[in-house]
Structure 1
């Protein structure tokens, strides 16, 4: 059963952090997912930076049906269809592509498009979207830029990603309009490829403990 955007947003607010994952082997998604869930994060953004993304999403949906799954770095219509067919709950894009947004809307597939300036925000609002990804967060001005944009665009609900780590994540989460932050430092591809689930578990627990106090 597909989730509504409101249900997805509620889960994002609850988890506060989204593991942004790139895989070299789709079979790694299950032990990785179990490690995340065991440490309080039953959520994954599986990015199409990897050619194994669709298979990993499909495997995770089949084997861990309660996981919240985002298809990330979606750039083409083909990837939209792959994400939907694999069972992703929603799509995340790095930038604002009107064609991709409209396709997702036609397919009733929630999308969180990327923005980082007033022009892209207004393009999103024009299509009825006010839940957006702020990317690349730190390079685009970080917390200071988000606060400035929220002046005229106070209706935005934001998921910042890019350059966020243990040192600055609480600064972002202190802004009420922020649903969750995307991060990859605790699911680094090197740790995944070496199957270092213990270290991934330790890093995940570290960030979950930090943000649970925010």
Structure 2
């Protein structure tokens, strides 16, 4: 998947569920729950040893589902994620070494930033889209507005402290293409296999985004 395809998919859906999977045997059932709610995208974080195998199982079951590998912090993880079938990579911070490596390998990577200096570094490395993390504690939408001003072509995916009650505050900003969040797919819900609840939360989130976007 190229960057333009990633951007279009995220702009269409507007929500990127951020998921930690502690048992890869639950991966396909979790994907079922997301798809049942009409959310065919997921970020599987490498904060679990099962991340790569979970990505593999999801992509084998649903090749059309867009799956990102999150919390990628080194080149080894980047290779593992892509080999497992991840469509693109997301890192919590910005690393020139990692970005250069992904550029060489033709991997799509979205690095994390939270300051103007990091935004400038991202732009200097040819990055068009960044994860703004942790969004809430880094100043929220006001910080994005301030940081984005000198970088008119930079787009943002804020993540961290975002939920159904504040997501549209971010999405109303034209520099924000989507928001990452875990409130629909909390670790405890996944561990407890509460898939119907996950679907219910996904439906509610997408409805909230759709209704509010229609008003603007």
User: For the superposition of Structure 1 and Structure 2, which TM-score range results when normalised by the shorter chain?
Assistant: over 0.9
Match of 2:34 in 1: 36
Q: Deviations over 1:40-95 (max 9, x none)?
A: 11001000001100000111111110000100000111101101111111000000
Match of 2:93 in 1: 95
**TM-score, normalised with respect to structure 2:** 0.96
Match of 2:164 in 1: 166
Q: Distance in 2 between matches of 1:195 and 1:116?
A: 34
**TM-score, normalised with respect to structure 1:** 0.97
Q: CA deviation at 1:127?
A: 1.1
Match of 2:12 in 1: 14
**Is the counterpart of residue 146 in structure 1 residue 144 in structure 2?**
yes
Q: CA deviation at 1:116?
A: 0.8
Confirm or deny: 8 A CA contact 2:91 2:111 kept in the other structure: yes
Which range moved further: 26-35 or 135-144?
A: 26-35
Q: Distance in 2 between matches of 1:150 and 1:24?
A: 36
**Is the counterpart of residue 70 in structure 1 residue 75 in structure 2?**
no
SS of 2:32's equivalent in the other structure is helix
Match of 2:111 in 1: 113
Q: Distance in 1 between matches of 2:150 and 2:142?
A: 14
Q: Distance in 1 between matches of 2:46 and 2:130?
A: 18
Match of 1:188 in 2: 186
Q: CA deviation at 1:27?
A: 1.5
**Is the counterpart of residue 51 in structure 1 residue 49 in structure 2?**
yes
Match of 1:84 in 2: 82
